[in-house]
Structure 1
Amino acid sequence: MFSKDNKKSSERVVSERNVIGSNTKITGDIISEGDFRIDGTLEGNIQTNGRIIIGEGGLIKGKAECTNADIEGKFSGDLQVSNILTVKATANITGDVIISKLSVEPGATFNATCSMKGAVKELKKNEQKNTEKTA
């Protein structure tokens, strides 16, 4: 009646949620599969397949790579978001940003060089089609 080979339980992906508290400062690199909320300070690099949330009092100085990001605090460095970057009104971002989609609330400070991956691919494809037609 009950099978020990339950595929649903073996295929389940555990989503970790990590929090760096407001009175915490970390210097170094973080690599994880889970989500991160940063209310303290991270000086270093962070790489995750999940979401990075920088709280209003949070700060990252370094490089960040993630799937999605919500920024309310401060970020300085290189930011690479493979899906959506949401910049809240209290955010302050400086550095180089590579994203797929961008959402910026009024009042945010966004002093960064920004590249959108999807738009670059589409432009290259269109340029190739135009050169093929004229040749």
Structure 2
Amino acid sequence: MIRDGNGLTVFNVIAEDDCVKGDILSKGNVRINGEVLGSVKSEGKLIIGSNAYVEGCIKAVELLVEGCVKGEILVENRVHLKLTAKLFGDLSCKQLVLEPGAVFNGHCSIKKD
């Protein structure tokens, strides 16, 4: 995990007004507050903010969704869908946390360690 000089976790950020068309590859943590049309691969934690929209395949170590995602999701560990989350697509992970109010439309495969 990458930390700054104060010991806080560092995130690469796609801002709310940004739109990325293409694939994103990151060795660290990523937070998406804008729009991504393409695949996202993070070797850390991926956060999809409440106003974000992602359309494409997602691969990450951990995923927290507050916004909208359409596509195949492959996560090594935990996926957390907050109450504002909308996920449309198939999901594979070790642990799924689904808050009341979250929308999930797809197939889910829970992997063992």
AA paired with 1:20? I
Does the alignment pair 1:50 with 2:44? Answer: yes
Distance in 1, Cα, partners of 2:48 & 2:100 = 18
Gapped regions of structure 1 (runs ≥ 5): 1-12, 122-135
Gaps (5+ residues) in structure 2?
A: 4-9
CA RMSD, aligned part only?
1.3
Q: How does 1:80-91 map to 2 (within 5 A)?
A: 80-91=74-85
Q: Which residue number in structure 1 is paired with residue 26 of structure 2? A: 32
Amino acid at match of 1:69: L
Q: Take 1:36 and 1:58, find their aligned partners in 2: how far apart are those partners?
A: 13
- For residue 104 of structure 1, the aligned residue among 69, 75, 98 is 98
In 2, Cα distance between equivalents of 1:18 and 1:47: 12
Matched residue of 1:56: which SS?
Answer: coil
Structure 1 or 2, whichever has the larger Rg, is 1
Q: Which residue number corresponds to residue 68 of structure 2?
A: 74
Shift of 1:14: 3.5
Shift of 1:76: 0.3
Determine which structure has greater relative contact order: mean sequence separation of CA pairs < 8 Å that are 6+ residues apart, divided by chain length.
2
2:57 & 2:89 partners in 1: Cα distance?
A: 10
Offset at 1:112? 1.4
SS in 2 for 1:107: coil
Counterpart of 1:26, as a letter, is V
TM-score scaled by length of structure 2: 0.90
Q: How many residues align?
A: 107
Runs of 4+ with deviation above 6 angstroms: none
